[in-house]
Chain A
Amino acid sequence: MHVLRLSGPGSLPFILGHVRKAPKKVQARHFYYSIFLKKVADSRSSIDTLLWVYFKAPHSYTGEDVVELHIHGSLKIADELMKLAIAEGFLLAEAGEFTKRAYLKGKLSITQAQAVDALIRSNSEYARRNALHILEQRASLGFEDLQEALLKVLAQLETAIEFPEEDEAYLQGQRKKIYNNYALSLSKIRECFESLLKNYALGRTLEAGLQVLLVGPDNAGKSTLLNTILHEERSLVSAESGTTRDYICESVVWDGLPIKFFDTAGIRDNSKALENSKALENQGIAKTFSLFSRADSILILYALDANLESDSLETWLAKLKVFLENVLSSKPPAMNKQAQDVFTDLENKRVDMAGPNKQRLPYLFFLNKRDLPQKTSENEIAKMIKPLLLDLGIQFSGTLSLLQEPLKSEALVRESLLASLALRGGDDDGGGQAYDEMALALLNERQAYVCRKIVAMLSEVGVLLAEYQSEELVVEELRLASDFFDELNLKTDDESVLDALFKNFCIGK
């Protein structure tokens, strides 16, 4: 089925002029079943039977008279109808035209128009839900409150300037104290923005999908794990060490959340890592390291040695420790200058994208019990390695048995991973602020940019206050920050913003 949508005062006359037995009085939001006719010379030929519905201005999407034609799913019929409409003076809608009209008629705010855009483009459940929040006008970020707090400081400073005789005596000797109070109020505002940005960074990650890096020594079962998750033989599994030279990336959707798994060439034990570092010019491995800086989560898989004897347990643990430390350092011990640059560059880009508050990465550790006999029980081993992991800040997530119990293993990985991500939202610097969908909802890229600007400006004000620079200078900087607030509230005096916005739309919306 195709739907044709007509908007404008000519819409109703068009449909009435083309259906057999047109109703005398059309009821809005009411479906009519009609036969659509086309005039050929003096006779009329029917084109299609269709359902149509009329939305009376202003109670339509665009705020104008709108008629929707639900026709049979033939491109030929659609073409025919469109040609007819165009012949009668209709124009083809441009990208974003309908939303633009809705905006011009006051049906949508700019924020909502942006949300429509986001909704159309949303490719994950998270993104969809966020866009919907705005459309339904459920979300508010409280920018107004923050602006009010900022204006209060601004007003106090201006009062000190404009009424010196009221305040001079009071200010004498107390200026430093007052300045410190200003600094405190403003840093609170700044913190709010920083946590907003943090939420935003996380939200964007959720929207774009999470990146999970699979790390483990050769033959730990990384590829098997990936295959299990994907339920297919994608990665080449072999008993030979170093099968996965570069990396393989696969996506799944868990709980509406796109997750990308990167199976890497891995970090081997210390001696091999050193070798790797020598061979760092090899781009494949350099890429592996770059993944560390991009990953949202790092999943470490380590195999329980089949021939593990109690006397060699210590050796095993020592090896594990070296391996984990190597992973944690996330770059080889002796990285050459060039590689270092590549790494820092990637790191910076990542930080830039995510905002300044990208915190340390969560490491999950899984022990893979291979399908081979062993003497020491897995519980014993888990008991032994837990303190070691705890020391390194790595979470012990459980033991997998990928070959024997693939479904159970997959479920464990999935739950641990999702739980750890939720934990991340819970904030690791003690702020206790959970990831807030609402916060993400209103923040688009432009607003995030403005927020970063405001953070930067408030920091600058902080410097001026710390230097006890005179009031009018502090105000100058604060005024600028206040102007940026207006932009947050989408006070755009820049038409290019609008043009850019509406151009983003797919045709017709």
Chain B
Amino acid sequence: MNSLRRSYDVLVVGAGHAGLEAALAAARQGMKTALVTINTDNIVYISCNPSIGGLGKSHIVAELHALGGEMPRLADKSAIQYKMLNQSKGLAVWSLRAQIDKHQYSRFAAEAAYTEDGLELIQDCIEELVMKGEGDKRHVVGARGQRGNLYEAKAVVLATGTFLGGKLYIGDHIQKGGRLGELSAEKLSQSLMQFDFKLSKFKTGSPPRIHKNSINFKILESEWGDTKRQYSFTGDTSLNKNPRLPCYITHTNAKTHAIIKENKDSSALYAGKMKGRGPRYCLSIEDKIFRFEGRDRHQLYLEPEGLDTSQYYINGLPSSLPEDVQYSFLRTIKGLEHVKIIKPAYAVEYDYLDPCHLRASLETKYCQGLYFAGQINGSSGYEEAAGQGFIAGLQAALKIKGKPEFSLHRKESYIAVMIDDLTLKGIEEPYRMFTSRAENRLFIRADNADRRLLAKGYHVGTVSCSCYKNFLKKEAELLRLKELFLQTKVSEELLTQLYQDGGLTGNLKEKTFAYLFRRGDLDFLSFAQKTAKFFSVDEELVMTAAADIKYEGYVKRQQRRNYQQEKMLSHLIPEAFNYKDISNLKKEALEKLSKIKPKTLEQAARIPGVTASDLEVLLLNLKRSKPAGSFPSRATQGNDSKIKKS
């Protein structure tokens, strides 16, 4: 065949959030990298909600920032509003969400890709993986594109998103595609299946985009977000000159619900046309109405998609109803009485692989050098994808360079929590990050991501030296502040000055700042702001110091527990361990353990379906299989019979 043949270190398939991070991370490790995508004009195109961050997700963004990922920079450059969620709760669960201009975001992403040394962009659709060897020796050697081109690579990262076998549903209209108006990757799924990978389907939905001029903003409540916030730790806001735009709040009502109920049979989701499972937390409006019968309304956000576009995104309204039905129910909603739809809501179904086939490095256990990141692993969300992409790209590069794996533990990072959950627990529905997934939630916070991870990034070479030095300076200042808060007593005069709003009761005389920060009824934000002003120090640093003080006891307790558990569960399971020899394992546990092959008892413990009693049995048998130990070795020799007299 007369086709092009090119050679790279790392080949990344898909230029979404995962693909971009993977390609940049690999290229920045000095790898000759190719980023192949169906359409190079749509690099990191924002498929769904025009925002970055939110609950749990912002923690991943903060970690990417600490590790030198691209997403936080892109979000800061293209932001048109920031909102800190959960400010009424403790700092550990505060989550920043940036509304972004989606065209700017894509443009800045393309710029980052095009200007990166050693990174090439290629417009092609990968259809086939090329591998060599069998069994444990099997390794990837490259991939073939639509036009027959062969891209040779030492490592391939698949970041296909919703494009892998993508199918779009609007009422009874079905079309192929990864995103409305775009193609899908059809043949790659077959290639994966030929190599014995098992594919399943997930579904997700996207709400309607409506025209700005058709919205009656005057009667809607606006939300402008917070000032002075961003993902960057440096406080430098010069990158972003965008004006701030508000979001608008409206609600569905009884009329809306009635129309949707009448038409449920024409919904692709309800008519049973879609095979894939959808997420429980991001429900289509059809689902919401049937599942929460008691609720008479659901909140909706109208979010601008950018400065130079008239499109508004209706957050909270994914649907797969026919367009005429969408029109009629939208027009029952306050402020949308004369709405005009630009793009209808649609549902998308796509292929993913049960992520249990992956190692913690996101390399598959069944082929050396083949990595997976993003929705192909069953996750959902830009941030989750970016986190995985970064890890996959970095690990691929490190492996090629013969360096040790980059290791992150779930006790120190949300990205690790996610990868750990995905690769060990497997998934039943699209996986999105929640803060409650992290056992160490009080310690792994967005505000201290740099303290947790920046040094690691610096040592693996993803974080610059100057960045690291700044961090060290900040760290010293943080320690000083903590000491200050623990020692300094707040005089009554100062207290009135710092805290006029009252709210705190009881005797506050001679109490330290630390004491006040620990109080549950303190208006944390306002007190922190005033304290920062009073000592003329950085506000965010004050909050981090205060949170450290507030959570200290809990964090220490958790650390002690971690330590004990690690000790207990650190039993190694030999790779060749035969679970079938254990007669008392439940069938489900037996299947999962044989499939996932955990390295330690700790990992085994996290596999769903493996119960405590399975673990006990496993532990006893592990001890038993050792030549010496508390279980007599003779038990395994010859006649395994016992005699007893009574």
Contact = CB atoms under 8 A, between A and B. Distances in A.
A110 B639 contact: no
B643 to A, nearest CB: 4
A8 B643 CA distance: 9
A176 B518 CA distance: 18
Nearest to A7: B642
B646 A493 contact: no
A432 interface: no
Contact of A92 (B442, B615, B619, B643): B643
Contacts of B605: 493
B645 A162 contact: no
Interface stretch (B84-92, B130-138, B151-159, B456-464): B84-92
A2 interface: yes
A267 interface: no
Interface in A346-386: none
B479 to A, nearest CB: 23
B568 A165 contact: no
Contact of B89 (A5, A470, A508): A470
Contacts of A499: 630
A93 interface: yes
Contacts of A90: 639, 641-643
Task: Give the residue among B299, B634, B638, B643 with the most A Cβ atoms within 10 A.
Answer: B643
Interface in B32-68: 55-56
Contacts of A82: 643, 645
A166 interface: yes
A350 B643 CA distance: 44
A230 interface: no
B401 interface: no
Contacts of B603: none
A338 to B, nearest CB: 38
Interface in B604-646: 605, 611-613, 615-617, 619-620, 623, 630, 632, 634-635, 638-646
Nearest to A487: B612
B642 A91 contact: yes
Contacts of A88: 639
B583 interface: yes
B520 A3 contact: no
Q: Is the interface of B mostly helix, strand, loop or mixed?
A: mixed
B558 to A, nearest CB: 8
Contacts of B434: 158, 162
Nearest to A491: B612
Interface in A478-503: 479, 486, 489-495, 498-499
Contact of A2 (B520, B611, B646): B646
A146 B90 CA distance: 28
A89 B641 contact: yes
Size class of the contact patch on chain A: 35 or more
Contacts of A476: 441-442, 554, 558
B643 A161 contact: no
B93 A508 contact: no
A450 interface: no
Given A110-B613, A161-B89, A495-B616, A6 B583 contact: no
A153 to B, nearest CB: 14
A156 B640 CA distance: 53
Contacts of A92: 642-644
A469 B646 contact: no
A279 B280 CA distance: 75
A464 B93 CA distance: 17
Contact of B642 (A97, A110, A490, A498): A97
Contact of A161 (B299, B435, B630, B645): B435
A471 B90 contact: yes
B279 to A, nearest CB: 13
Task: Give the residue among B56, B441, B551, B639 with the most A Cβ atoms within 10 A.
Answer: B639
Nearest to A179: B520
A345 interface: no
A471 B93 contact: yes
B644 A508 contact: yes
A165 B54 CA distance: 10
Nearest to B624: A104
A6 B88 contact: no
A85 interface: yes
Contacts of B551: 473
B644 A486 contact: no
B85 to A, nearest CB: 5
Contacts of B617: 104
A105 interface: yes
A45 to B, nearest CB: 21
A66 B198 CA distance: 45
B623 A495 contact: yes
Nearest to A465: B520
B521 interface: yes
A429 interface: no
A469 B89 CA distance: 9
B569 A493 contact: yes
Nearest to A497: B616
A459 B536 CA distance: 40
Nearest to A166: B299
Interface of A: 2-11, 14, 78, 82, 85-86, 88-94, 97-98, 101, 104-106, 109-110, 158, 160-166, 168-169, 171-172, 175, 464, 467-473, 475-476, 479, 486, 489-495, 498-499, 507-508
12 contacts: A3-B646, A5-B643, A6-B644, A8-B642, A86-B643, A104-B584, A162-B436, A472-B442, A479-B439, A491-B613, A493-B612, A508-B645
Given A3-B646, A14-B641, 15 more contacts: A78-B645, A92-B644, A93-B643, A105-B584, A161-B86, A161-B436, A162-B435, A162-B436, A164-B86, A165-B85, A169-B299, A171-B88, A476-B441, A492-B612, A493-B601
Which 9 A-B pairs give the minimum distances between C-beta atoms? A8-B641, A491-B612, A469-B520, A89-B639, A470-B90, A467-B520, A10-B641, A508-B644, A90-B643
Interface of B: 55-56, 85-86, 88-90, 92-93, 95, 281, 299, 301, 434-436, 439, 441-442, 519-521, 551, 554, 558, 565, 568-569, 583-584, 601, 605, 611-613, 615-617, 619-620, 623, 630, 632, 634-635, 638-646
